[in-house]
Every structure is written in structure tokens, then in C-alpha cells.
Chain A
Amino acid sequence: GAVVSQHPSRVICKSGTSVKIECRSLDFQATTMFWYRQFPKKSLMLMATSNEGSKATYEQGVEKDKFLINHASLTLSTLTVTSAHPEDSSFYICSARYPGGDTEAFFGQGTRLTVV
């Protein structure tokens, strides 16, 4: 199946700093990528839909200025957590689907963010 690579897998940062997470589709072009956040023992929560060449579409309640998403190419989307706080500590996962929308979602490995 298709491969989506997410980096880094784990990151620890100090409160107030910014962290960038990369999501790459390695063997297909993803015009759309999705960013999820997952709290312990909870399901995936869609944060935003990243569209190549245009602004991301954020879900209600997600701060656009805090979670910056850039989808500059057909194979790369980035999520930057700005001015991170301990409550931003979570598991962040990206996913992408083949164009068409009705196929399985391929997931990155996820990033465990810990803000201290």
C-alpha cells in the first residue's frame, strides 16, 4: 500500500517554543492531507484538512494561529504548533488518501509531542 511518512516520531519541547511536524506521501501525490490529534484512550479528532496550494480548512474549535498548516507541495504538509503549552501535549497523526476520496486513508507514524 501507499506510504505516508511522518517526522519526528517523538519530540519534547519547552513551553513557549514552536514545533514543526512533517508529513510526506512517499509514493503518490496527495492533494489533500488530514491532521488529527488523539488524546489518550480517545478516537482521532480531525484538526484540519490541508489542501495543496491553498489555505487549510480548520475544524471548529481549532486555533488557526496556533496550529499552522502549510501544504506547499503535492507530497508534503507541515503542522507547526506555535508557542506550545503543556496542554498541547498529545499524539498528532497525519493521513492522506489517493485522489478521489473514497479509498482507505494511509497514516503517518504519528508524533508524540510532550511540552514541558
Chain B
Amino acid sequence: GQNIDQPTEMTATEGAIVQINCTYQTSGFNGLFWYQQHAGEAPTFLSYNVLDGLEEKGRFSSFLSRSKGYSYLLLKELQMKDSASYLCAVVDSNYQLIWGAGTKLIIKP
């Protein structure tokens, strides 16, 4: 079966750095997405990785290791507005999106 694992919940302090991990076992791989979702809203796109390595975009960075079936989302200089759920999603061999359950990130002052 196909499986994506993320921690259920994480807590971090405003101004700090947090890393959210995602491991996956899927039938094929055609890319990995990270989305941010605030409560009651639709997900918004953060990043897309298809090659190994680190993609940096402002305060957010995403890393991928295809050989390890592993990705992480790194959030720097945390702000209160970063409190949200972060969803990892993998594109499988049929170009279907397989979703993780999401990581709820709580930012404390």
C-alpha cells in the first residue's frame, strides 16, 4: 500500500526554527508537495521537489531524498501566523496525489 507519515503535532517558539519531516512509501514517485492549511481554509502551495536536494524560498525550505523516501519542510524565523497544518503530498506513478495526514504546528510566543 501507499503510505505517507508525518508527525501529528509540533510546537515551536516564535522566532525559532522548526523542521517537519515526511517519509513516504508510494508506487512510483513524480514529485513531492508541501502545502499549508489554516483551519477552515483550503490548502495553499508552499513547495515542490522532484530532484534530491534543498529548495529555498524565503523563510521556507524543503528538502528531498528520493533514495530514503524522505522530505522535510524547514520554517525559519517563525511567526504566529505560521500556526497551521502542513501537508505533505506525493505524486505517484499514476500522477495521483497521495496525502499525508498533516502536521499541526503550534507557535508559542
The interface size bin for chain A is 20 to 34
Which chain B residue has the least Cβ–Cβ distance from A106? B45
List, in ascending order, chain A residues with CB within 8 A of B99's CB: 43-46
Task: Say which one of B13-21, B35-43, B70-78 lies at the interface with A.
Answer: B35-43
Interface residues of B in 67-90 (CB under 8 A from A): 87, 89
Check A105–B40 contact: CB distance below 8 A.
no
Interface segment, one of A66-74, A80-88, A107-115: A107-115
- Given contacts A43-B87, A102-B30, A104-B48, are A110 and B41 in contact (CB under 8 A)? yes
B44 cross-chain contacts in A, Cβ below 8 A: 107
* A residues apposed to B, CB below 8 Å: 1, 6, 34, 41-46, 49, 91, 93, 101-110, 112
Contact A105 B95, beta carbon cutoff 8 Å: no
Do B101 and A43 have beta carbons less than 8 Å apart? yes
Q: A107 contacts which of B42, B95, B101 (Cβ < 8 Å)?
A: B42
A102 and B42 contact, CB distance less than 8 A: no
Count B-side interface residues using an 8 Å CB cutoff.
22
Total A-B Cβ pairs within 8 A: 49
Q: List 21 A–B pairs whose Cβ atoms lie within 8 Å, in order of A's numbering.
A: A34-B97, A43-B100, A43-B102, A44-B43, A44-B87, A45-B99, A46-B96, A49-B96, A93-B42, A102-B30, A102-B31, A102-B50, A102-B91, A102-B95, A104-B33, A104-B45, A104-B48, A105-B33, A107-B42, A109-B41, A110-B41
User: In the bound complex, do residue A105 and residue B87 qualify as a contact, i.e. CB atoms below 8 Å apart?
Assistant: no
B41 touches A112 (CB 8 A): no
B33 contacts which chain A residues (CB < 8 A)? Answer: 104-105
The CA-CA distance from A43 to B40 in the complex, in Å, is: 12
Contact B48–A101 (Cβ < 8 Å): no
Select one of B89, B95, B100 contacting A101, CB under 8 A.
B95
Chain B residue with the shortest CB-CB distance to A36? B99
User: Looking across the interface, which residue of chain A has its beta carbon closest to that of B101?
Assistant: A43
Which among B42, B89, B95 has the greatest number of chain A C-beta atoms within 10 A? B42
A42 touches B101 (CB 8 A): yes
> Given contacts A43-B101, A44-B87, A102-B91, are A107 and B43 in contact (CB under 8 A)?
yes
